[in-house]
Amino acid sequence: MALRAIASRKTLAALGSGLRAQARLATTAAAAAASRGLVTFSLPDLPYDYGALEPAVSAEIMQLHHQKHHQSYVTNYNKALEQLEDAVARDDAPAVVKLQSAIKFNGGGHINHSIFWKNLAPIHEGGGEPPKGSLGWAIDADFGSWEAFVQKMNAEGAALQGSGWVWLGLDKEFKKLVVETTANQDPLVTKGANLVPLIGIDVWEHAYYLQYKNAKPDYLKNIWKVIDWKYASEVYEKECR
Partner 1 sequence: MATATVAATAPLSNGFLLRRGPNEGAKSARGLQWTKNQRQSASSRRFGAAVITAKFDLKPPPYPLNALEPHMSANTLSFHWGKHHRAYVDNLNKQIVGTELEAKSLEDIVIQTYNNGDLLPPFNNAAQIWNHDFFWESMKPGGGGKPSGELLKLIERDFGSFEKLCEELRAAAATQFGSGWAWLAFNPRPSDGKELLVVKSPNAVNPLVLGYIPLLTIDVWEHAYYLDYQNRRPDYISIFMEKLVSWDAVGAKLEVAKAQAA
Collapsed DSSP state (helix, strand, coil) of residue 169? strand
Does residue 206 have a known ligand-binding role? yes
| DSSP designation for 49 | -
Q: Counting contacts by CB under 8 A, is residue 15 touching partner 1?
A: no
| The binder of partner 1 chosen from 184, 190, 194, 233 (CB under 8 A) | 184
| The binder of partner 1 chosen from 83, 129, 209, 231 (CB under 8 A) | 209
| The binder of partner 1 chosen from 13, 97, 148, 183 (CB under 8 A) | 183
Footprint of partner 1 on residues 59-98 (CB under 8 A)? 64, 68-69, 72
SS (H, E, C) 1-48: CCCCCCCCHHHHCCCCHHHHHHHHHHHHHHHHHHHCCCCCCCCCCCCC
Q: How many residues bind partner 1 (CB under 8 A)?
A: 20
Does residue 65 have a known ligand-binding role? yes
Q: Counting contacts by CB under 8 A, is residue 148 touching partner 1?
A: no
Q: Counting contacts by CB under 8 A, is residue 101 touching partner 1?
A: yes
Range list of H helices, the chain: 9-12, 17-35, 59-64, 71-89, 93-98, 100-118, 133-143, 146-159, 209-212, 216-223, 230-239
| The binder of partner 1 chosen from 1, 213, 237, 240 (CB under 8 A) | 213
Q: Are 97 and 103 in contact (CB under 8 A)?
A: no
Q: Are 50 and 13 in contact (CB under 8 A)?
A: yes
Does residue 110 have a known ligand-binding role? no
Does residue 66 have a known ligand-binding role? no
In the complex, the residues that contact partner 1 under the rule CB under 8 A are 64, 68-69, 72, 101, 105, 161-164, 183-185, 204-206, 209-210, 213-214
